[in-house]
Amino acid sequence: MEEQLTLFPIDTEFEVSKERTTSDKIQLVSFRELIYEITDTGYLTHAIVSYPAKFIPQVVRYAINTYTKEDDWIIDPFAGSGTVGVEAYLCKRNAILYDLNLLLNHIMPLKVYRGEERLSKEHLCNLLDSMQNNQTPPFTPAWSNVEYWYAPEILTLLSQYWGFVHNIDQDVYAGIIKAALIKVSKRFSYTEHRTPKLARSKRKLAAIDELLQQNWQEQLNQIVHDHCLKTLTDINNFMMHTRHHQNQVEFQGGVDSSYIEVPRECDTLITSPPYLQAQEYIRSTKLDLFWLGHTEDEVRELSRLEIPYRKADRIIHTETLDKVREKLTRKDLINRLDSYFCHTINALENAMNRLKPNAAACIFVGNPRIDGITVELWRILSEYWTERGFSHEKVYEDRIKTRQLFGVRKNKNPDGMKSEFLLILRKTDA
């Protein structure tokens, strides 16, 4: 996700409002400035697969440096593409990751790969040659709508390549090829590949038509080849950096965190919950999920569980949240707000209940708007947990100049979010 930061002086504290208490002190920061050693948000294995609304690794690294120590267990109930897992392992911490999206199960074995030996470029290139001359049966996604998204000749070639990769040993090399095929399966489809959302556009239809007049097959093969070799290098570099690390990264995709039972006590929570207005992670990645072999039923069930598209089973009350609710007039928006807070808080609570005494919970959120009303997420979460065994330690504000989450959004917040906040809560009960 591209974003441009306006730089602010580090460690500047100011009060948001005179009437409010000292717990409102917000520390303006630039996480990119604070963690200057990370210069590229996609460094090492972070960029193997693109994912909507990813954490920038600098935020995670800052939380790890400040609120954890070596061999600690970090929990992330909204792990997405697993940024917390990668940073934890790089910093000799353990991590336990959950996400509704099944992609996590495909991505993590690559992102935190731990092999004895460097991966072989020669072996990978041999596999790619075999893929291009492959005679194994083609693979067609179990998706009734697949033809809507592809030109017939492109679909035939992709089915041949996916047929090959599903039929070889399911090892790290197969994972590398799948990551590259995910990229071209989107790039060569009728959906706009620059925005996460699945959307057929006139522009893209015209672009594919033009491509079909050219050497499109060579272009596709070249992208697959380059992506595979880059991933192989990234994984080898990751292995070099972590060759003496003995930590564990446990992960479970396809899990509804609102109802998980966490099997162990943890030392810290680091997470970024879904956005209130733009939760389309499953829809955005469904092309990938179908090609990876998941069925229409599985994908439909996951979409149904996505926050906030399901009924709230309890209504959350805090001072700030109740004020927002009172201002809303549309019933559908009140329902969405209630659903969002019910399930987001359920998921966080399942993880936070398993934190050890004195542990920190680091929650990274934006300040979304609903029907033009700003929803101060960090304040609502802080109000909720300060009545339930946590103290409010701090809020960092990372101000962003531009940010595109899911392309152009038709809501009353044309500027998008201006800031993101890292809320730090501290577990006080014994």
- Residues forming the site for ligand SAM (CB under 6 A): 51, 53-55, 78-81, 83, 98-101, 256-258, 272, 274, 281, 305-307, 343, 347
For residues 128 and 362, give the distance between their C-alpha atoms in angstroms, rounded to a whole number. Answer: 42
For residues 227 and 181, give the distance between their C-alpha atoms in angstroms, rounded to a whole number. Answer: 9
**321 versus 351: smaller Cβ distance to ligand SAM:** 351
Name the minimum Å distance from CB 420 to ligand SAM.
11
**14 versus 259: smaller Cβ distance to ligand SAM:** 259
**What amino acid occupies position 189?**
S
Name the minimum Å distance from CB 265 to ligand SAM.
20
Q: DSSP for 180-210, please give it.
A: HHHHHHHHTSSB-SSSSS--B-HHHHHHHHH
Name the minimum Å distance from CB 255 to ligand SAM.
6
**148 versus 259: smaller Cβ distance to ligand SAM:** 259
Name the minimum Å distance from CB 195 to ligand SAM.
16
Residue whose token pair is 């972070």: 46
Point out the residue whose Cβ comes nearest to ligand SAM: 80
Name the minimum Å distance from CB 347 to ligand SAM.
6
For residues 144 and 114, give the distance between their C-alpha atoms in angstroms, rounded to a whole number. Answer: 38
User: Is residue 30 within 8 Å of residue 10, measured between CB atoms?
Assistant: yes
**100 versus 154: smaller Cβ distance to ligand SAM:** 100
**76 versus 131: smaller Cβ distance to ligand SAM:** 76
Name the minimum Å distance from CB 228 to ligand SAM.
22
152-161 long-range contacts, CB within 8 A, separation 24+: 153/212, 154/188, 154/189, 154/208, 154/212, 154/216, 154/220, 157/217, 157/220, 158/184, 158/185, 158/188, 158/291, 160/134, 161/131, 161/134, 161/224
Name the minimum Å distance from CB 218 to ligand SAM.
33
Q: DSSP for 16-31, please give it.
A: S-TTS-GGG-EEEE-H
**270 versus 370: smaller Cβ distance to ligand SAM:** 270
**157 versus 308: smaller Cβ distance to ligand SAM:** 308
User: Is residue 86 within 8 Å of residue 236, measured between CB atoms?
Assistant: no
CA dihedral in degrees (341, 346, 348, 351; nearest 10)?
180
Tokens of 155: 């679909």
The dihedral built from the CA positions of residue 147, 149, 155 and 159, taken in this order, carries a sign that is negative
